[in-house]
Structure 1
C-alpha cells in the first residue's frame, strides 16, 4: 500500500527525477530536517535499520512502533524539493510527546526516490532485491520487530510502561503476533486486515462473486482448493527453500484472531467498511466476547487506506478524501484514554 505522504505528492506525478545515491552523512542530515534519525541495530544474526524521532534530551517518552504493510518500499522518500517518511499520518503533532519508530524492510534502501520507487523499489536490474524476497515472511518480520522492541526497551529515552505497537495491513498480523503474551507492550492497534488470514479473505471474495455471477459450482471448486491448501499446511519450516511458498504459508498457517486470544493487553482493531481486506472484522465482537479489553472501531465508507469517495451535488466523482490523520488521531486518543471515539 502507499501511505499518506506518497498520496500527498499526487500533483508531482508528472515530474521525473534522478535517483539519488546518498551518503550516510547526507541521510543523517536530511532525516534530522524532518525530525528523525537512523538507528542501526546489530544482533547476532542480523542487521536491522529503523528510524526514530529525534529525542536529543533523552526524555523518557511513550513510544509507538508502527509496522507498515506489504510492498518493498523505502521508509523515507525524496523528490526534487522534499523529504518525507512512509508514516501514513502527519507526524509533526506527535514528535514532542512520543518516540515514533518505523522499521525498514530487509534489503530495501532506507531512502528512495519518490517518482521511481513509490510503487515498490527495484534495483538496477529492474528486480526486487533478493534479500527482500528471502525475508518477506511473517516469521522474519515478527522477529525483526521483536528485536527492535527488545532494544528500545533498554534505552533511557523510552518510557517502558508506555510502549505501543500499531500495525497496518500486513503489519496488523505482525503486531498481533508480536504482542502475544508480550509484557513489554502496553497496548496494540491493528488496522485494515482480515482477522482470520489471507486464505479466508480469498474465500470470502469467491463466495461473494458466486452470488452475483451465477457460477457457484466453479467458485466452490476454487474455495475448496484454497481450504485444502490451508488444511495441508504443516511445519512451515518445510517450505523455507521456496521463498514464495514460505511467504504464503507463514501468513496463512494460523488465524490472527487466535493471536488476539493470547494477548494480555488492550487491543483496538480499526477498519474501513469499504475495505474488502477487512471483510470479517465485524465478527470479532462475537468471536472474542469474553475479552473485555478488546475494542473494534469501524469507519463507514473508508477503504483500506482510509480514503473515502467524494461526489459533487450532481453525483459526479471528486478526488477521494484522505483520512489517515483523523483515524490515527482517534487511535492515539484510545492509547491515551482507553476510550474509543
Structure 2
C-alpha cells in the first residue's frame, strides 16, 4: 500500500477516536478514547469560540462524584466552576474534566439527593475504582497533551488550577507535565477529603470524644 495513503488512513482512524458536540451553544464536549476508557472534558465556548487562538486554563474540581452540568428551569449550566467563567473567557480557553463513571449532566433535584441516596449514576463502581490521585493526574495530562496540539490553543501559556481535591491534582500535574507554565491552587489538603476525615476521627478518638 502507498505510504501516503496509509498515513491518511491512520490519521482518519485517530480522528475518529475524538468525539465532539456542543451543549446549549456554550460548551464544546470532547471525548478521548483510550482502549476501553473514555476521558470526557469540556471547553467553554461553541465552535466559533474554538476558532480563536488562546492559552489554556484547566480547572480540576473538588471531591464528590458531581456532574459537570446541572439542568435547571432556566436552562443548563456548568456547575463545577467556583469563579465567573465569563470574566476570563476572553483570555483563556477554559477546560473542565468529567470524573470517571459520573453522568455528564443531571437535573438539580437528582443532584440534591446524590449524597443521601448514593445514586449509582454518580457514585458508580467505575468512579470508586478510579477515584485516586494518580488516575486524575494521568487523565489531566492526557487532556493537556491533546489540547496543546490543537490549532485553537496557544501552548505558550498552559495554566492548571485546582481547588479542594483538585489542589493536589494540580500540583502533581504541574510537577510532571512540562507543558504546564502556571499553577493555581486553593482550599487544598494534600491528604485528600477521606484521609482528612480519618485523621480527624482518630484525633477525636484520642481525645476521648469517641469510644
Same fold (TM over 0.5): yes
Q: How many residues align?
A: 188
Which of 147, 151, 161 lines up with 2:156 in the alignment? 161
Q: Which one has a bigger Cα radius of gyration?
A: 1
1:73 aligns with 2:62: no
TM-score by length of 2: 0.75
Residue of structure 2 in register with 1:187 after alignment? 182
Structure 1 Cα separation of the partners of residues 58 and 120 of structure 2: 33
SS of residue in 2 equivalent to 1:165: strand
Structure 2 Cα separation of the partners of residues 45 and 100 of structure 1: 27
Question: Could you report, residue by residue, the CA deviation over 1:188-229 in whole angstroms, capped at 9, with x for unpaired residues?
Answer: 11111224556467546765x58xxxx64x47x99xxxxxxx
Task: Work out whether residues 73 and 119 of structure 1, in 8 Å CA contact, stay in contact via their aligned partners in 2.
Answer: no
In structure 2, relative to structure 1, the CA distance for the partners of 1:178 and 1:42 (3 Å cut) is same
SS of residue in 2 equivalent to 1:140: helix
Residue of structure 1 in register with 2:6 after alignment? none
In structure 2, relative to structure 1, the CA distance for the partners of 1:184 and 1:79 (3 Å cut) is same
In structure 2, relative to structure 1, the CA distance for the partners of 1:124 and 1:182 (3 Å cut) is closer
Residue of structure 1 in register with 2:16 after alignment? none
Task: Work out whether residues 66 and 122 of structure 2, in 8 Å CA contact, stay in contact via their aligned partners in 1.
Answer: no
Structure 2 residue runs of 5 or longer lacking an equivalent are: 1-18
The residue correspondences of 1:267-286 to structure 2 (distance < 5 A) are none
Q: Give the drift of 1:127.
A: 7.4
Question: Could you report, residue by residue, the CA deviation over 1:88-137 in whole angstroms, capped at 9, with x for unpaired residues?
Answer: 22211222221000101111111111121146377876872222112112
Which of 73, 77, 83 lines up with 1:84 in the alignment? 77
Q: Once superposed, what is the RMSD of the aligned Cα atoms?
A: 3.1
Residue of structure 2 in register with 1:39 after alignment? 30
SS of residue in 1 equivalent to 2:156: strand
TM-score by length of 1: 0.49
Structure 1: 4+ residue segments shifted above 6 A: 121-127
Q: Mean Cα displacement is larger for which, 190-199 or 145-154?
A: 190-199
Structure 2 Cα separation of the partners of residues 50 and 120 of structure 1: 21
The residue correspondences of 1:25-174 to structure 2 (distance < 5 A) are 28-30=22-24, 32=25, 35-54=26-45, 56=48, 58-85=51-78, 86-118=80-112, 120=114, 128-174=123-169
Structure 1 Cα separation of the partners of residues 113 and 165 of structure 2: 16
Structure 1 residue runs of 5 or longer lacking an equivalent are: 1-23, 223-341
Structure 1 Cα separation of the partners of residues 63 and 100 of structure 2: 12
Task: Work out whether residues 114 and 122 of structure 2, in 8 Å CA contact, stay in contact via their aligned partners in 1.
Answer: no
SS of residue in 2 equivalent to 1:120: helix
